[in-house]
Amino acid sequence: MKSQQNLSLFERDVSPDEKKKGEATEQIKRLDLHGEMRERLLAHCRLKRGEVWEDPVKGHRVGVLDAADAKDVEKIFGGQETSLAVNDPPYNIAVGNANTLSLSKVDLQSYLEFSKNWVSNAIAAMAADAHFYVWLGADYRDNFQPLPDFMILMRQFDDLKPRNYITLRNQRGYGTQKNWMWVRQELLHYAKGNARFNVEAEYTDIPKILRGYYKEVGGRRTENIERSKSEYIRAGNVWVDVQQVFYRMEENVPGCYAQKPLKAIERIIQSGSDDGDIIADFFSHSGTTLIAGERLGRRVLTFDLDPVFAEITIRRLERFRKLKLTGWQWRSPFPEIDSREGDVRRSYFRVG
Ligand SMILES: C[S@@+](CC[C@H](N)C(=O)[O-])C[C@H]1O[C@@H](n2cnc3c(N)ncnc32)[C@H](O)[C@@H]1O
């Protein structure tokens, strides 16, 4: 189901000229599969491994740090605590022949060791009452790892209590004609202490359409829609109203292969934090959590192991402030590089 908000984004900004010239295709390919391009972009990144950038306007921080390294994590938090950590680690699933810094498949034990380390670091940075979310996948070609193994690992952390197990349903998926199409993304929700939940954030823009659940009220037979607080359905733990990001959406960031939709991250932030709270994301990638926090008045501390993704994260914030755009659609976040030839781009590609 496409929401109204997403419908308006589909054909936005594509001039007939651009269509004719074939320009409406992503100008930087997936960086996990195009290592050469990633190497070229490194020269244009302002941060090196171990460094942290602090936003002079609102105090957000972006680093090139390792989520599994306690010292790195302390460096970005500097004694501050987060009331909501939303994390999207690599899923330990091989894509093509990629075996890169940020996306490599390792044996399950090593993956669980890595998970144990970064989760411990996240818990250490969480306030007494705080939410913890993690996106994860299950690879059916490899015994559904790592989702169930990660869930069992999480039982070791007494501070975190399970709150929910959310599935985001994609509209498009992958699979063959011989399998059910794979359209799900999993989101685990845990809480520490007595973390507050704002139920208002749970309402979608999907009207209730099912009638029924008749009940006698004051001698009259009433129907559920009449009695309910809202004419819209709640997202519940199966989210069907969030479009996965693709190249025609304004928020798309070319080069990023695992970008989460802003709408999903904003729902999480609005349901579990207040104005001015500190939000953390240990795997920044395209910087979705930073943009969501900026739009909702939260301060965000985020980082990525890869300087290219940290740079994209900072550029995305700068672009948002300058142009009020949440991404680049199919255009390049690195307009100074010609992704086809290697020389300086033609000037009409320069869009901010
Ligand atoms: C699935 S993506 C996150 C997507 C992000 N939620 C978004 O919306 O753009 C995972 C990211 O984690 C980064 N990463 C991998 N290992 C890491 C580590 N040890 N510490 C920090 N970041 C890491 C990768 O470079 C990649 O950008």
Q: How far is the CA of 259 from the centre of ligand 1 (A)?
A: 10
Q: How far is the CA of 89 from the centre of ligand 1 (A)?
A: 5
Ligand 1 lined by 326 (C-beta under 6 Å): no
pTM above 0.75, yes or no: yes
Query: Which atom, in ligand 1's list, is nearest to the CA of 89?
Result: 10
Distance, in Å, from the CA atom of 85 to the CA atom of 337, rounded to the nearest integer, reads 34
Q: How far is the CA of 280 from the centre of ligand 1 (A)?
A: 13
Radius of gyration over alpha carbons of the chain, in Å?
21
Q: How far is the CA of 63 from the centre of ligand 1 (A)?
A: 12
Q: Measured in whole angstroms, how far is the alpha carbon of residue 187 from the centre of its chain?
A: 11
Ligand 1 lined by 316 (C-beta under 6 Å): no
Ligand 1 lined by 38 (C-beta under 6 Å): no
Ligand 1 lined by 260 (C-beta under 6 Å): yes
Q: Ligand 1: which residue has its CA nearest to atom 24?
A: 102
Q: Note the pLDDT of residue 20.
A: 57
| Consecutive 10-residue averages of pLDDT for the chain (352 residues) | 29 49 70 82 96 98 98 98 98 67 78 98 98 96 96 98 97 81 95 97 92 81 80 96 94 94 98 98 98 98 97 98 97 85 36 28
- Assign domain 4-347 one CATH number from 3.40.50.1970, 3.40.50.150, 3.20.20.70, 3.30.230.10: 3.40.50.150
Q: Where are the domains of the chain?
A: 4-347
Q: Note the pLDDT of residue 209.
A: 84
Ligand 1 lined by 68 (C-beta under 6 Å): yes
Q: How far is the CA of 6 from the centre of ligand 1 (A)?
A: 25
Q: Note the pLDDT of residue 346.
A: 35
325 touches 250 (CB < 8 A): yes
Q: Ligand 1: which residue has its CA nearest to atom 7?
A: 259
Q: Note the pLDDT of residue 237.
A: 98
Query: Which atom, in ligand 1's list, is nearest to the CA of 281?
Result: 6
Taking residue 278's Cβ as centre, other Cβ atoms within 10 Å add up to 23
